[in-house]
């Protein structure tokens, strides 16, 4: 496979090369899409607006300007309005309130700005948001992350495409972008915050990078090359980690992975697989510290994670779940139908003699009456079952005179009559190796006397099992709940 040379374009490229670079950065956007262009009025975003309009005339561009209210920005508003008039493009102006959350004014302003841009994009039906980051911005971001002790993903820096954000100028040098604005005769404004040497980015821009030039002639290119190489390595590790993730299992909101699968890959890949696992349950990627806490769990151990999550270890599995698990009121099984059990994203099917065509004479048979109904042969999808469960126990033939049955959660004091004797249901689930959060989600089938008759995939009451074998009247089986839109 042919890969582009890592690093930015060299300084001093021509106008044609600048335009070609932007066109290349926009190739992934389908023809005719509505696209938002973030326009602050500064030289970078100004160049982006004009270059995008020239490179992709097929796009339905909308300019978006966010007013942060941190300074007098009337000149900014006037400049972006002028650009909108010259380009003949619609302009959306949105004012925001910047609320600090302990991470500094710049981060708070950035958070408010992106929230406003995404709100405008949603209102306009825009499929992408263009932002004007350059190679110099990438180098500054990398140095800031290095100062905080970043990992490989941090070294990868900003991506040319990240969700709804597209950065088509990421391979261009800032000086070339500013020269484009100057030679085109386009007005622009300067944000004083960019010249603030007391800010982290200001110090990197005006002090650190100039000092690095004493060690190497072009530190920006070197740093961006490092970012590009780190991106390739991170993507390869991510692909490997997702292959590990394909072996994970889930029950409702609980996600689980086996220690055996994690031990079969290098630590870097296992850590990424765990990060994906935690992110699938929570909101956003977890910290490296949170992932390390999950990886260190031993069987029987539990740890709370940020974002309302809880991780636990059991029988060689690691499980991550919300601390607040979903619940459902006791629900009567529907004879001849499907009874949903939402907490585990399951249904329990009831197959009786009058439900559909007669099955072929195979599977479980009556041992008492030669003319008795034979339950159909039903195979349960193994992916529905948690660790510790078995597919052959995921169906149960019940006797024809079985009374009403109910689905409910496990309760303290529940016991199950097994061939070896009566045991606490909690101990049965623990011994089977069912992860802790699944024990709270998994359905239990009880009769009118609240006797535990069946724990799907785990075990059944010995008398219920024996009666169902001798005079079957219905077959219970697990099924997945239909996904939205399925038929």
CATH number of the domain encompassing residue 301: 3.30.465
Distance CA 222, CA 50 (A): 29
- On whether both 168 and 200 belong to a single domain, the answer is yes
Per-residue pLDDT tens for 53-103?
A: 999 999 999 999 998 776 677 888 999 999 999 999 999 999 888 776 666
- On whether both 207 and 227 belong to a single domain, the answer is yes
Mean pLDDT of the chain, nearest integer:
88
- On whether both 315 and 363 belong to a single domain, the answer is no
**Which pLDDT band holds residue 408 (cuts at 50, 70, 90)?**
very high
The stretch 23-36 carries a mean pLDDT of: 95
Neighbouring C-beta atoms of residue 323, cutoff 10 Å: 11
- On whether both 148 and 60 belong to a single domain, the answer is yes
Question: CB–CB of 345/358 below 8 Å?
Answer: no
- On whether both 126 and 252 belong to a single domain, the answer is no
- On whether both 338 and 379 belong to a single domain, the answer is yes
Q: Is 202 exposed, middle or buried (0-12, 13-18, 19+ CB in 10 A)?
A: middle
- On whether both 88 and 167 belong to a single domain, the answer is yes
Print the domain residue range for 218: 15-234
- On whether both 40 and 87 belong to a single domain, the answer is yes
Distance CA 107, CA 100 (A): 8
Question: CB–CB of 26/52 below 8 Å?
Answer: yes
Cα 265 to the center of its chain, rounded Å:
22
- Residue that finishes a domain, picked among 295, 322, 349: 322
Q: Is residue 147 part of a domain?
A: yes
- Range with lowest mean pLDDT among 223-232, 354-363, 422-431, 473-482: 354-363
Strands 415-418, 421-424: pairing kind: antiparallel
- Residue that finishes a domain, picked among 258, 291, 322: 322
For the chain, percent helix, then strand, then coil, each to nearest 5?
40, 20, 40
Q: What pLDDT, on a 0 to 100 scale, did the predictor assign at position 5?
A: 64
- On whether both 87 and 155 belong to a single domain, the answer is yes
- Range with lowest mean pLDDT among 187-201, 250-264, 357-371: 357-371
Distance CA 265, CA 263 (A): 6
- On whether both 335 and 393 belong to a single domain, the answer is yes
- On whether both 270 and 126 belong to a single domain, the answer is no
Q: Is residue 9 part of a domain?
A: no
Q: What pLDDT, on a 0 to 100 scale, did the predictor assign at position 217?
A: 86
- Most confidently modeled range among 63-67, 286-290, 356-360: 63-67
Q: What is the CATH number of the domain that holds 207?
A: 3.40.50.620
- On whether both 353 and 469 belong to a single domain, the answer is yes
- Residue that finishes a domain, picked among 301, 322, 343: 322
Question: Does pLDDT of 2 surpass 70?
Answer: no
Question: Does pLDDT of 42 surpass 60?
Answer: yes
Q: How many domains does the chain have?
A: 3
Neighbouring C-beta atoms of residue 10, cutoff 10 Å: 11
Question: CB–CB of 64/37 below 8 Å?
Answer: yes
Q: Closest Cα to residue 460, out of 421, 416, 424? A: 416
Q: What pLDDT, on a 0 to 100 scale, did the predictor assign at position 102?
A: 60
The tokens for 458 are 């785990």
Q: Which residue has the higher pLDDT, 121 or 300?
A: 121
Distance CA 385, CA 379 (A): 12
* DSSP assignments along 130-150, one per residue: E----HHHHHHHHHHHHHTT-
Which percentage of the chain shows pLDDT scores above 70? 91
């Amino acid at each position: 496979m042919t890969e582009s040379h890592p690093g930015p374009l060299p300084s001093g490229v021509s106008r044609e090369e600048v335009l070609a670079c932007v066109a290349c950065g926009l190739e992934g956007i389908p023809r005719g899409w509505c696209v938002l262009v973030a326009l602050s009025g500064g030289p970078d975003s100004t160049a982006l607006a004009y270059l995008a309009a020239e490179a992709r005339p097929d796009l339905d561009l909308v300019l978006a300007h966010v007013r942060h209210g941190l300074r007098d920005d009337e000149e900014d508003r006037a400049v972006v309005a002028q650009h909108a008039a010259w380009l003949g493009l619609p302009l959306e102006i949105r004012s925001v309130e910047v609320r600090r959350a302990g991470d500094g004014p710049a981060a708070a302003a950035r958070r408010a700005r992106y929230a406003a841009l995404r709100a405008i994009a949603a209102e306009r039906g825009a499929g992408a948001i263009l932002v004007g980051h350059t190679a110099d911005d990438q180098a500054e971001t990398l140095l800031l992350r290095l100062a905080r002790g970043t990992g490989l993903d941090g070294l990868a820096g900003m991506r040319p495409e990240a969700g709804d954000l597209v950065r088509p100028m990421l391979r261009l040098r800032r000086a070339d972008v500013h020269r484009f604005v100057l030679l085109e005769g386009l007005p622009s404004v300067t944000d004083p915050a960019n010249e603030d040497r007391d800010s982290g980015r200001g110090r990197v821009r005006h002090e650190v990078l100039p000092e690095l030039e004493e060690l190497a002639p072009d530190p920006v290119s070197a740093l961006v090359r490092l970012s590009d190489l780190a991106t390739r390595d991170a993507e390869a590790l991510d692909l490997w980690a997702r292959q590990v993730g394909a072996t994970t299992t889930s029950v409702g909101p609980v996600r689980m992975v086996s220690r055996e699968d994690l031990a079969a890959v290098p630590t870097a890949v296992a850590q990424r697989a765990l990060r994906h696992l935690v992110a699938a349950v929570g909101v956003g990627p977890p910290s490296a510290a949170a992932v390390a806490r999950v990886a260190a769990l031993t069987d029987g151990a539990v740890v709370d994670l940020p974002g309302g999550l809880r991780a636990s270890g059991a029988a060689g599995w690691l499980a991550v779940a919300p601390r607040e698990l979903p619940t459902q009121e006791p629900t009567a099984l529907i004879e001849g139908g499907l009874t949903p059990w939402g907490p585990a994203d399951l249904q329990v099917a009831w197959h009786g003699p009058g439900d559909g065509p007669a099955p072929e004479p195979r599977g479980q048979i009556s041992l008492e009456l030669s003319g008795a109904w034979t339950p159909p042969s039903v195979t349960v999808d193994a992916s529905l079952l948690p660790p510790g469960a078995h597919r052959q126990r995921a169906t149960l033939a019940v006797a024809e005179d079985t009374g009403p049955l109910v689905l409910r959660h496990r309760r303290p004091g529940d016991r199950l009559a097994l061939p070896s004797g009566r045991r606490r249901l909690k101990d049965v689930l623990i011994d089977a190796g069912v992860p802790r959060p699944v024990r709270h989600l998994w359905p239990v089938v009880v009769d009118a006397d609240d006797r535990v008759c069946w724990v799907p995939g785990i075990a059944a009451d010995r008398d219920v099992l024996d009666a169902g074998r001798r005079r079957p009247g219905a077959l219970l089986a697990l099924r997945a709940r239909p996904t939205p839109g399925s038929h």
